[in-house]
Copies of this chain bind each other. A is one copy, B any other.
Amino acid sequence: MPTALRLGLTLELAVAKVGKYATSESGDSVEVVERPHGGLSVVMVDGQRSGKAAKAISNIVARKAMALLADGVRDGAVARAAHDYLRTQRGGKVSATLNLVSIDLESRTLVLLRNNHCPTLLYNPKWIGVTTPDGWQYLNEPSEAIGIHARTRPIATELPLQPDLLAFIFTDGIWTAGERSGQRISLPLLVREALAAGVTQPKDLANLLLARAIELDQGRPADDMSLVVLAILHSQTAEDVRRMTVSVPF
């Protein structure tokens, strides 16, 4: 974007995912795609069931959403199209959860779309005592998975791009980790402890939360687990370099 329009902010994004224990592969798909009018979008899909069957579902949904986002289609239409497409392909018999997260540099907003019963968690220390008592905001309005019912719509939230904002988006393998062993994970509590201990980078927060989720499932994830942590920070330098890293064991 034009130097004159630089906001002096940096998006830091981290994704971590692992498959359900003893399955051949994760049934979740997470993809990042550049938006043609500026910014980027993250697509996170949790296909019904696990393993290869789930992956086939999450793959077709993620692929459709990515192609539309890369074409510049607005997020709300992308989520609706992904639903209609899955419902058409699978005759309304297969569901998936879908989250879209976009840094939209055209509107200068963070756009969060949920077709997922799991909430999205937002935190900003500047909100403490202003917007919310403790700086946390839960996006937990009832929301329906895609693929089954006619005319399913996403729950949309749009916020101005503001520094110090943290967002946590995840599939239910993360949200309900530990449930079977009676010690269900508390993501807000873990994040609060991590921040208090000086862990503030999305990469470190994602690693910490995923490790704790796996630990609470006794080292054997009871479900596919995927987690996106996003931060908007003041830029540390004036340089305009974009960076990405990927790590994949095989």
Q: State the A residues within 8 Å of B (CB).
A: 1-3, 6-7, 9-19, 22, 24-26, 29-34, 36, 38-40, 59, 62-63, 66-67, 70-71, 103, 105, 161, 202-203, 206-207, 210, 235, 239-250
Contact = CB atoms under 8 A, between A and B. Distances in A.
Contacts of A247: 10-13, 242-244
Given A2-B24, A13-B245, A207-B243, 20 more contacts: A7-B250, A9-B249, A10-B248, A11-B248, A12-B246, A13-B244, A16-B241, A18-B242, A29-B34, A31-B34, A32-B32, A33-B66, A38-B250, A62-B70, A63-B67, A63-B70, A66-B67, A103-B250, A203-B243, A243-B247
**Copies of the polypeptide in the assembly:** 2
Nearest to A36: B59
Given A66-B66, A240-B18, A245 B11 contact: no
B241 A249 contact: yes
Contacts of A71: 63
B40 A248 contact: yes
Contacts of A17: 241-242
Given A1-B25, A59-B36, A63-B70, A13 B246 contact: yes
